[in-house]
Homo-oligomer: A and B are copies of this chain.
Amino acid sequence: MMYDFRHILSTYDISRDQAEFIIQTAKEFEPYAKKEKSSDQLKGKVMASLFYEPSTRTRLSFETAMLRLGGSVISVTDPNTTSLFKGESWGDTANMMSQFADIIVIRHPEIGVAQKFAAVSKAPVINGGDGMSQHPTQALLDLYTIYKERGGIDGLTIAMSGDLKHGRTASSLAILLANYNVKFRFIAPKELAMKREVKDLLTAKNIQFEETENLEEGIVGVDIIYMTRIQKERFESIEEYEKFKGTYVLHRKLIEDKNPDVIVMHPLPRIDEIHPDVDDLPNAAYFRQAGNGVTVRMALLSMILGA
C-alpha cells in the first residue's frame, strides 16, 4: 500500500484513507497483541522510548508493541532526565537519538517538542503526547475501538465529556473523527468547553456538534460516550467546582435509565468519572480500549519500520 507514515505527530496530518488503512492493519495484529501469536518482524530494530513526562500506560503500551514484534527498546523514563540535557538543544538530542534508534517515541509536557524532534531526526518520530496539544496514537486506538465496538464510524454520534479544553485525548480524537460522517456532543462546564480550534475545524467541515453542560441529558441518544477527567484545579473558584462536582460521574443507573446501548470509553487512568458499577456492563469498553493500544501501536510500528 501507498501510505508512507514517516512521522506520526498530529491527528491533523492523518487522512481518512490513512486512518482506514491503520484500522485494517490493526485488525491483522489482533492475535499478536492478544498473545495468541508471536512475531519477529522487527527483529534487530531498536525503538527509543523517551518519556520526559511520566506516562507508564502509554510507555508500556508502546514498549509491549515493539517487543511483541521482536524488536528491542531503549528508554528514558525519568522525568528529571530533562535536566540532563539542560542547555542542550532538542536538535542535538534528536540527532543523537536518531543515530541510535530506528524509531523514536517521545512524550513531553511542552507543546511542539515532537515536531522539533522530527525536524532534525534521521529516524521516524512518533508523538507520544505533547502537553495539552496532541496524542495521535491515543486517538488512533480510540478510533479503532469505536470501529470495533460499533462496526464502523460513519453515521455515529459521539459524546465527549469532561475537561475538553485542556485534555489532549478528546480533541485529538475529534480532529481525527472529523474525517468521517459523524456528529458530536460536547459535555463540559463552560470553563472547560471544547477547544475553539476544534470547533472551527468541525464547522469548516460541516460536521454537526452540540454543546451541553449536562451529562444526564448529553448521554441520551449517542452511540459513544467518551469520558475524561475533570480536574478541580482547572476551576477559577471552589464554588464553580462544587457546582459540577459529581455531575460528571457516569454510573450504571444513568446508563440503564438514559442510554442502555451506549458504548463507554475512557483513555484511562480514571479517578471517579466512571463509577466501578459500570465495569461489569457490556457497555464498558474502556478496558478493551486499553488493550487496543498495543494492537494499534503494533500496526503503526510495523507500517513504519516493517520491510
Contact = CB atoms under 8 A, between A and B. Distances in A.
A267 to B, nearest CB: 11
B60 A74 contact: yes
Interface stretch (A89-97, A165-173, A208-216, A233-241): A89-97
A54 B56 CA distance: 17
Nearest to A271: B87
Given A46-B64, A67-B46, A89 B56 contact: no
Contact of A88 (B60, B74, B77, B269): B269
Interface stretch (A127-135, A147-155, A286-294): A286-294
Copy number in the complex reads 3
A294 B35 contact: no
Interface stretch (A5-13, A78-86, A178-186, A195-203): A78-86
Contact of A78 (B43, B57, B78): B78
A68 interface: yes
A274 to B, nearest CB: 10
A142 interface: no
B38 A43 contact: yes
Interface stretch (A23-31, A98-106, A244-252, A253-261): A98-106
A116 to B, nearest CB: 14
Nearest to A70: B44
Contacts of A287: 92, 95-96, 99
Given A61-B100, A77-B78, A100-B61, A88 B270 contact: yes
Contact of A84 (B54, B91, B270): B54
A87 B270 CA distance: 8
A84 B56 contact: yes
Given A46-B68, A68-B46, A101-B64, A290 B56 contact: no
A115 interface: no
A54 B95 CA distance: 19
The 8 closest A-B pairs by CB, nearest first: A38-B44, A88-B269, A87-B271, A99-B291, A67-B72, A64-B100, A96-B290, A63-B74
